Structures are given as structure tokens and as C-alpha cells.
Amino acid sequence: MAGCEELVESGGAGDMPRVVAALAGILERVAERNDAAAAAELPAVAAPAASAFRATTKPGISVRAYMARIARFAGCSPACYVVAYVYLDRLLRRGRRLALAVDSYSVHRLLITAVLAAVKFMDDICYNNAYFAKVGGISLVEMNYLEVDFLFGVGFDLNVAPETFADYCAVLQSELLCAEAPPPPPLRLQHCCLSDDDAGAGCSAQQQLAA
């Protein structure tokens, strides 16, 4: 559990918690991958199913900046972001029949709602829905609707066992290690050739949240 304790430590003044940076990195990559997959589909393919979490236009704020905003103003414990990650995974596993995926149109609403649900379950003191709506840049009516939709989406399964918490911490910790690893030194080519199979090894792919 030492890795979990290190992960959920708060950053210094002005720094986002490590767990927030890790979660932002995973969601950014998944959203970009799903955006690319959607763009590659033929026009004849049916549009994504309607969802309360899917915006009509892409928000003008990046996932990382949005996460930093939530971390700055939500005032919740860092452990809430691990629990929010668990909830997102549960929602997307259950939502496969609805073709719900994390992309640039849905990731922001999914994030703010998952954090809201996690805060209410984990922390003794938290801000109300009106405050979270302002932090998330949406209306109170929409925040309330998203919360209800989210809770039904996860089947009201909000309890997170210590073993599950540790497993998701490990995924986030691995994401941090990949992000913080120094880039490999440039190859020194002399009198040799590198085949396509000789590419340097990178960090392994993390658990996907895409439906």
C-alpha cells in the first residue's frame, strides 16, 4: 500500500496532486484514441448513441486543464480521484450496450460527475451540486441530471474494496512512472542498420476506459 500512499499525497503549493496528473494522462490518451477511431469511421456509420454525457460541441478546455481546475476548487481528498477512476470504469463497462465511450465530447462531463459521486461517498464534508456545477462549467439542472444518470449507470455500486482501490492505484502509479521516465538517449548509428522491429521499448499500455 506504500505506492497508494505516495500516489494520493497532495502536491506542493500550486501543484496538482500526483493522482490527478495520472488520471488526466490516462483519460487524455483514451479520448484522443477514441477521437481518432471515430474520425476514421465511414460517414455511413451510425452516429454515437445519444447520452447525457455527450456534449454537442467539444469543450474549449483540455482534459488536463479541466482536471487541474477540479483539483483546485473541489477541495476533496486525493483518494477521491482514485475512486472516481473506479466509478468511470464501472460505468463504461456497464455502458457498453449504450456505446458510451470516453472522447472529447464526453470526457469532461464524465469527469466532473465521477468526482462529485466520489466526493459524496468518500469525504465527510463536501461542496453541494451547485458549487460543482460552477466548477464544471455546467448548469445546476444539468449537474443534477448527470449525477442521477451516473448513479443508475453504475448500478448504485459505489463501495470500493481496499483491494480494488489498490489495483487502480497501481494502474495510476504505472501511468506516473511512464510520464516521469526520462526520454531514451538518441541512438548512435555507426555502421549498422536498424530494422522496423528494433524500435525502442516504451511504457506498456494502461488499462483502457473505452467502452
Over residues 95-103, the mean pLDDT reads 70
The per-residue pLDDT for 125 is: 87
Q: Distance (Å, rounded) from C-alpha 4 to C-alpha 83?
A: 12
Which has more confidence, 208 or 95? Answer: 95
Task: Identify the H or E element spanning 195.
Answer: none
Helix residue ranges per DSSP H, the chain: 2-7, 18-40, 63-73, 79-94, 107-122, 129-136, 140-153, 162-180
pLDDT at residue 168 greater than cutoff 90: yes
The per-residue pLDDT for 43 is: 52
Would you kindly state where each structural domain of the chain is located, as residue ranges?
1-5+15-41+54-181
pLDDT at residue 175 greater than cutoff 60: yes
Question: What predicted TM-score, i.e. pTM, was given to this entire model?
Answer: 0.78
Q: Please count the other Cβ atoms lying within 10 Å of the Cβ belonging to residue 33.
A: 16
DSSP assignment of 178-207 = HHHSPPPPPP--SS----GGGPPP-PPPPP
DSSP secondary structure letter of residue 97: G
CB 116 within 8 A of CB 132: yes
The per-residue pLDDT for 6 is: 59
pLDDT at residue 211 greater than cutoff 70: no
Over residues 104-123, the mean pLDDT reads 95
pLDDT at residue 178 greater than cutoff 90: no
Over residues 70-98, the mean pLDDT reads 88
Q: Distance (Å, rounded) from C-alpha 149 to C-alpha 72?
A: 25
Band (35; pLDDT cuts 50, 70, 90): confident
The per-residue pLDDT for 71 is: 93
Band (3; pLDDT cuts 50, 70, 90): low
The per-residue pLDDT for 190 is: 41
Architecture, CATH, for domain 1-5+15-41+54-181: Orthogonal Bundle (1.10)
Residue-wise pLDDT for 115-136, tens only, equals 999 999 999 888 999 999 999 9
CB 176 within 8 A of CB 7: yes
What mean pLDDT, rounded, does the chain reach?
80
What are the angstrom distances between the C-alpha of 148 and each of 87, 138, 151, 182, 183? 14, 15, 5, 43, 44
Which has more confidence, 40 or 174? Answer: 174
Band (152; pLDDT cuts 50, 70, 90): very high
CB 91 within 8 A of CB 100: yes
CB 149 within 8 A of CB 53: yes
CB 209 within 8 A of CB 172: no
Coil, helix or strand at residue 10? coil
Q: Distance (Å, rounded) from C-alpha 55 to C-alpha 202?
A: 34
